[in-house]
Amino acid sequence: MRAKGVSHIAVCVHDLERSLGFYRDVLGMKVKMQATQQMARRPGAGSAEMYRSRHEARTVANVWFEGPNGEEVAPFLVLTSHPGDDIGGESIKLDQIGISHISFTVDDVASVAAELEAKGVPLAGKLADFTNDEGVVRTIFVYDPDGILVQFDEGPR
């Protein structure tokens, strides 16, 4: 088998609108689809191996970054919620099993840190925690509304 790449990353959230306030309004991602879907039509919706509990419906939004020519940059995020249902679980830290964070490549981490803080998004630590011995900030972490770690870095050197 040879996979072609990562198509999307799905993130279950408590409140879709609150999460869109972060991913769309703060980070600038574009919503390409937002809908309520009946779970009876979803593959594996009744599977105890895939879901902790049964749900009648889910709300979903596909969010993308746009490239310089307006093209959709993959992978995209699928944000899902189950309004009215008890959604359990807690976000995890970097040293726990599971997908621990989402990372985005940016041109200038220090300016992104300043912009996020100006928009009321606190860093997951102090800026000094992300500053190397040369005084350079190449990566930062923040939390999304559900406490999921979101990283911004300048990519490989």
- Ordered structural domains, the chain, with CATH: 1-86 (3.10.180.10), 90-157 (3.10.180.10)
pLDDT single digits (tens) 52-71: 778 888 899 999 999 999 99
Please provide residue 68's backbone torsions phi and psi, each rounded to the nearest 5 degrees. -65, -20
* pLDDT band, residue 49 (cuts 50/70/90): low
- The pLDDT of residue 46 is above 70: no
6/157: higher pLDDT: 6
Residue 63 near residue 31, CB atoms below 8 Å: yes
Q: Kindly report the average pLDDT of the chain as a whole number.
A: 91
State the pLDDT at residue 102.
95
